[in-house]
Structure 1
């Protein structure tokens, strides 16, 4: 009988898509999150503190595959190191991690933490797989929606994204989780590169709103990195099919 798969962050945007796919494949799933809930439909929910390390050993008991999706605004490297140590103690045979495109190039603290987490996984001694994905449509929608509340929408020049649908990332992760350890696999990005003005304009049109777009310049090394497209994956990446326009028609059109 196949062993239970532990999914950290299994109740989040990505996890809520991945967990049902793993269940459809006939696997028992254990979800680790900050807030517990009653177990149901072949999914066991446990609580643990990734940043503090409490609760990880019992959560990993009997687990051979770990899909690490949990993340936050800071501390992903520390949380991942704690998980890696507990996974090694438990004899985990496959450790998978979701990272972000640009983890090794963007001079921003969150990206550096993601790179630190990648290294913790790669240096764990456990067979591993890491997938870097672009920003999800959901995150872009939240960001653009907040900007659109302002009298004028700020549009940093040179800031571009390749937003990808979370469901397509989930499908890829499920495939990788059910497969063999593969190391660093090709990035997964959306089918189109958009500037912020294009994303904002599409959102405003979908909502039937009018706002002036205000060009601004991003200063310093972060601005230079974005203008150099260091946050994009333009060669060798797998591309999803769902566009920003498809996502807006479904989500905002409702």
Structure 2
């Protein structure tokens, strides 16, 4: 099949592309710069070059996102532009890479991802909404950012099920090669851990001597994380590589 991967240069996209190629698909990786093998240039935020980038595609893996910028412009309006540009007569499957908990966690970025899901469900296109938990390297970045000298404060009671990005990419490629479900599919890490447990494991491996302090945080957002809002449901597919194995490089 002819597959387009939006966000092809991102952490997930650049791992998905070679897996799809190994499966025999012709793959284009779309980004604003269009760099790399098979790179095509298009901008979801403006729609520039989008019709040319999607021309003739059978399958789209929609992994582009803008969590640090304006997700309503890129993730929501950009998804709407993508829907309008696609050839409905040719498209067989659109896989949207979302996040576990977008329907439960009251955070602006998650709300934007959930709104993008609704755009796709209302489009009439053959879609699969693939919600994934946080990647191991993302947890590393968050903990490194939260550290304050010899102290690492973390929210008390927050839970997560981080997953290996390579395993997530393999699952995305598998889903993209199959038929659209028209619904939500979840993929998460092998175990649910508290923020304090994750922080202690990270500190022991990367910053020995740092003291982890769990601090209660009020509010609806914190309550959603404490109540398992970002944990996959009982029927979710699971990766195997644990966060401890990630820290050991195993």
TM class, shorter-length: over 0.9
Contact residue 148 and residue 200 of structure 1 kept, 8 A: no
Is residue 2:66 matched to residue 1:72?
yes
Match of 2:99 in 1: 100
Structure 1 gap ranges (5+): none
Please give the TM-score of this superposition, normalised by the length of structure 1. 0.91
5 Å matches for 1:143-162?
Answer: 143-148=142-147, 150-162=149-161
Match of 1:25 in 2: 23
25-34 or 203-212, larger mean C-alpha shift? 203-212
Q: Deviations over 1:7-27 (max 9, x none)?
A: 001111111111110110111
1:204 deviation in Å? 1.3
Contact residue 63 and residue 90 of structure 1 kept, 8 A: no
Residue 198 to residue 38, structure 1, CA distance change in 2 (3 Å): closer
Residue 103 to residue 208, structure 1, CA distance change in 2 (3 Å): closer
Structure 1 segments, 4+ long, off by >6 Å, are none
Match of 2:127 in 1: 128
Structure 2 gap ranges (5+): none
Tell me the number of residue pairs that the alignment of Structure 1 and Structure 2 aligns.
245
Please give the TM-score of this superposition, normalised by the length of structure 2. 0.92
For 2:207 and 2:125, locate their aligned partners in 1 and report how far apart those are by CA, in whole Å. Answer: 51
1:37 deviation in Å? 2.1
1:93 deviation in Å? 2.6
The SS at the match of 1:30 is: strand
The SS at the match of 2:94 is: strand
1:132 deviation in Å? 0.6
CA-atom RMSD in angstroms: 1.7
Contact residue 62 and residue 90 of structure 1 kept, 8 A: no
5 Å matches for 1:46-125?
Answer: 46-73=40-67, 74-75=71-72, 76-88=75-87, 91-125=90-124
Q: Deviations over 1:103-158 (max 9, x none)?
A: 11111111111111111111111111111110111111111122235331111112
For 2:36 and 2:242, locate their aligned partners in 1 and report how far apart those are by CA, in whole Å. Answer: 36
For 2:32 and 2:109, locate their aligned partners in 1 and report how far apart those are by CA, in whole Å. Answer: 20
